[in-house]
Amino acid sequence: MAQVAAYAAPSARAPLGPHTIQRRDPGPHDVQIEILFCGVCHSDIHQVRAEWGDAIFPMVPGHEIVGRVTKVGTSVSKFVVGDLAGIGCFVDSCLVCDPCKRDLEQFCQKGAAFSYNGTEMDRKTPTYGGYSTQIVASERFTLKVPAGLDLAAAAPLLCAGITTYSPLRQWNCKPGDRVGVVGLGGLGHMAVKLAASMGAEVTMLSTSRSKEADARRLGAHAFELTSDPKALKSLAGRFDLLIDTIAADHDLNTYLGLLRTEGAMVIVGVPPAPAAVAAMSLIYGNKKLTGSMIGGIAQTQEMLDYCAAKKITSDVEVIPVQKINEAYERMIKSDVRYRFVIDLESLKR
């Protein structure tokens, strides 16, 4: 067992502060990783505030982890000491159920071991995330981080990247498709970059006029202010695909009206309250309303390799861990350009 410096929320809604956790010594199939950077996802805020029901405290959030391998177990073949490595939203699963066999480990029927606010597969040992200086995980659930990527900017690929890459692939995003991205935060800015890289004609749908220039720089061909009813009216029936990243309650019917006949809207954001969908919003036009949760390990590796080849990373504001509570407040006000990333050096001093 190792004593590891971390930042934790002691209870729901309490501010995060310094904390010490224990990490296991690496078993035969494990890698030990010194964490260099960890992205800050809006899911961290939802969970620290217990907005998704029961939560486990003290909670060390963080599932966009990039670091360097410092130890490998005796049977490890994918990594050697000194390699770059990444950990995303989950660290283990049963590997024998149907979703696991189909490379959808996030939907493991026994319940995947999520990287924090969960337990290992023994259902006893709590998991702790990347707001810490070290993590130990099975090599099966550890990603290879391609060389050549800026490491701080690569960290958000482990959640924001895969969460937007996966539905773009599932809905066969291709050159000429009209893709609308709803909400320009961490997920939204990755959706814009990735959809544009796949050749789509991307429209940013945002509540923040001040983000227009950034949206275009990120690759959006058009920008529309969703608070402007005239702008929305002019977009009726336009999009093949909408990726909805909004973390707060909003009216889905408005956006469904922007889909073309047989178009699809994929929800990835998790607003707190259930949304009312009028049957006619779907029936008229054979429209599809669907969801998507992160991506399996194989697809996450595919996404990392794709991003390395296309030189795609996140636009980040690097912060010391001591600024995390302030960063949360800014994210809630949609004031993030476009992902906070913690430099774990700040926890080693």
Residue 210: C-alpha distances to residues 207, 224, 225, 284, 331 (Å)? 9, 11, 10, 34, 15
Nearer to ligand NAP, 29 or 339 (CB): 339
Contacted entry of ligand NAP, Zn ion, none for residue 211, CB cut-off 5 to 8 Å set by kind:
ligand NAP
Please list every residue from 165 through 224 that binds ligand NAP, using CB under 6 A.
Answer: 183-188, 206-208, 211
Segment interacting with ligand NAP (CB under 6 A) among 121-129, 268-276, 316-324, 341-349: 268-276
All residues at 6 or more sequence positions from 183 whose CB lies less than 8 Å from its CB, including other chains: 205, 206, 207, 244, 245, 246, 247, 269
Residues in contact with Zn ion, shown as a per-residue x/- string from 150 to 169 under the rule CB under 5 A = ---------x----------
Quick one: which of 140, 99, 144, 136 has its CA closest to 115?
136
Number of residues that bind Zn ion (CB under 5 A): 3
Residues in contact with ligand NAP, shown as a per-residue x/- string from 124 to 163 under the rule CB under 6 A = -----------------------------------x---x
Residue of the chain from 7, 38, 40, 43 that contacts Zn ion (CB under 5 A): 43
Segment interacting with ligand NAP (CB under 6 A) among 16-24, 53-61, 300-308, 330-338: 330-338
As measured in angstroms, the least distance from the Cβ of 196 to ligand NAP is 16
d(CA 181, CA 165): 12
As measured in angstroms, the least distance from the Cβ of 88 to ligand NAP is 10
Residues in the chain: 349
Residue type at position 275? A
**Cα 274–chain centre separation:** 21
Q: What is the DSSP string of 126-137?
A: BP--SSBSEEEE
